[in-house]
Structure 1
Amino acid sequence: MLHSPTNSILSRASPVDILDLRPHLRVIELQHGQVLAESRQRLSKVYFPHSGVISSVVELGDGAAIESGMIGNDGVFGAAQALDSKVSLHRVVVQVPGEASVVTAEHVKAVAQSSPEFLTLLMKYEQFFLGQVQQTSACNALHSVEQRMCKWLVRMHDLAGSELPLTQEFLAQMIGVRRTSVTGVATQLQNKGMITYRRGKLKILSMELIERHACECHQTVRELYAEEFGNIDGTTSPPESRQGPGL
């Protein structure tokens, strides 16, 4: 049963809509590496994360993959697809472990059909997520590895705090570069006192410096969220630390 939602979308839902959702919601653990959807898979559940990070990953025929967007306690996964029985366009996996409230797609669709306010809330998040994906695409094409890595760390910090279970192999895949490139940039960031990295765990030491070295995309994503929801941070008070197994 949901008592005090830490998910931004649920927190913004009307009391009437929460009453409709509450009996059907159950809180589950999001396990590291858990696949919530495969590409082209029809979705039967909708996830409202309270903690942790979910990644939408584009997979290519040669086995390469790159992250197109992140979902944390600021959003929802599967709601837009639930409204018209669509499939997931990409593979969706748990990047950082946490918790989420889960409800069937059928019930989300029923509540949205009976509540224009709830439908608008879901569509506003979908609009934001589309903007995030488009910004990520432009960022990957135009900005340096250091800028992209710092931008990625800003977004991760917004959603999961300053301590991140992370391997360099995984980070390289997420931003679409070779591991050697990530190793070089990570070394530079450590030398500048911005992060520490040891045994698959990365700790952000200075968000001010990280943001200074990031491209403008992290701020654009925050502003996109603020335009839809009026919260420039794009988050609901992320925990200072989110522990989990190394990726």
Structure 2
Amino acid sequence: MQHPQNFLLSRLPADVLSRLAPDLSIIDLIHGDVLAETHGRVEKVYFPHSGIISSVVETLGGGAIETGMIGKDGEFGAMQALDEKLSLNHVVIQVPGSASVISSDRLREIMDTLPVVRGLLIKYEQFFLAQVQQTAACNAIHTVQARMCKWLVRMHDLAGNDIPLTQEFLAQMMGVRRTSVTTVASELQKSGLISYVRGRIRILDLDLTRQWACHCDADVRSHYRRVFEPDRGDD
């Protein structure tokens, strides 16, 4: 069974997961696929095994900025399943991978009958809100270099050392000019932190990248531990 490759599903008791399993299917997450439009309906809930889902705020001028990443440590769509199925953001696959998927209607039924499922998903939404708030503060006060390093560290945690993306996409996600990303990426390459070739970034020195990152990455990790450590049991 591949479903436990997602952290949240792995936290469920075996008997509870076995009750969910018949309603879960495994799909590929394709780069660039849109899971939800702003104010669009969300008919499925996604539990990634790998890859990254981005929650993006779109601006009236046609711009966009990423406010949160969802990977194997989370899910997308559970709270929408409980509340009119509306997405408040544009949600897109940033890095390809795979995920367990369940219909919103079925998950709502399960959450109504199994409090352990509802409780776990509410805890994740609490963490995700903290991540969004941390991102807002980070974008307001930290340098592009520190933010990029933080972003790369988070990407590493979810997708590994090799990250397929263009500088254009990275600039959009960070809400900065492409020239700013190009300048910082060049500095990081010269300092031996990363290599960048043909739309792929490879992290060469993770420890140094963490040192150059702003403290927001550590803060987000702390939020996650505080939310989920009480559930770790004998882990």
- TM-score normalised by the chain length of structure 1: 0.91
Higher helix share: 2
Q: Residues of 2 paired with 1:30 and 1:46: CA distance?
A: 13
Give the aligned residue type for 2:89. H
Matched, 1:132 2:131: yes
Deviation at 1:16, TM superposition (A): 2.8
What residue number does 1:14 align with?
13
Alignment of 1:229-244 (within 5 A): 229-230=228-229
Report deviation, 1:96: 0.4
| CA distance in 2: counterparts of 1:17 and 1:108, whole angstroms | 13
Q: CA deviation at 1:118?
A: 1.0
Following TM superposition, by how much is the alpha carbon of 1:3 offset from its aligned partner in structure 2, in angstroms? 4.3
How much identity, in percent, do the aligned residues show? 57
Question: Any conservation in 2 of the 1:14–1:118 contact (CA below 8 Å)?
Answer: no
Q: After superposition, where does 1:8-157 map in structure 2 within 5 Å?
A: 8-157=7-156
Distance 2:12 2:43 in 1: 21
CA–CA distance in structure 2, aligned partners of residues 85 and 215 of structure 1: 37
| Aligned mates of 2:55, 2:176 — CA distance in 1 | 17
Structure 1 SS opposite 2:181: helix
Mapping for residues 218-233 of structure 1, pairs under 5 Å: 218-230=217-229
Contact 2:3 2:49 in 1 (8 A): no
1:185-200 aligned at under 5 Å gives the runs: 185-200=184-199
Task: Name the SS of the counterpart of 1:97 in structure 2.
Answer: strand
Q: 1:3 to 1:54 in 2, by over 3 A?
A: closer
C-alpha spacing 1:83/1:214, structure 2 compared with 1 (3 Å): same
What SS is found at the alignment partner of 2:4? coil
**Equivalent-residue separation in structure 1 for 2:30 and 2:41 (angstroms):** 21
The alpha-carbon deviation at position 230 of structure 1 amounts to 2.4
Aligned to 2:5, the other structure's residue is in SS state: coil
- Aligned-partner SS, 1:189: helix
- CA offsets 1:91-133 (integer angstroms, 9 cap, x no match): 0000000000110011111111111111110000000000000
> Which amino acid is 1:106 matched to?
D
CA distance in 1, matches of 2:101, 2:45: 6
Structure 2 distance, partners of 1:149, 1:224, is 20
Matched-pair contact (CA < 8 Å) for 2:3–2:100: no
Deviation of 1:85 after TM superposition, in Å, equals 2.5
Alpha carbons 1:59, 1:66 under 8 Å: kept: yes
The amino acid across from 1:127 in the alignment is Q
> How far apart in 2 are the matches of 1:8 and 1:135?
22
The code of the aligned residue for 2:27 comes to I
* Counterpart residue type for residue 78 of structure 1: G
Deviation at 1:4, TM superposition (A): 5.2
Q: d(CA) in 1 for partners of 2:195 and 2:93?
A: 23
Asked if the contact 2:42/2:81 (under 8 Å) is kept, the reply is: yes
Gaps of 5+ in 1: 232-247
Structure 1's consecutive aligned runs of 4 or more residues displaced over 6 angstroms after TM superposition are none
**Shift in Å, 1:15:** 2.2
Report if the CA contact (8 A) 1:20-1:111 is conserved: no
Q: Report if the CA contact (8 A) 2:123-2:227 is conserved.
A: yes
- Matched residues, number: 230
Q: Partners of 1:200 and 1:227 in 2: how far apart?
A: 36
Structure 2: runs of 5 or more not aligned: 231-235
Q: Give 2:95's aligned amino acid.
A: V
Q: Could you tell me which amino acid in structure 1 is paired with residue 173 of structure 2? A: M
Aligned-residue CA RMSD in angstroms?
1.1
Within 2, Cα distance between the matches of 1:193 and 1:144? Answer: 19
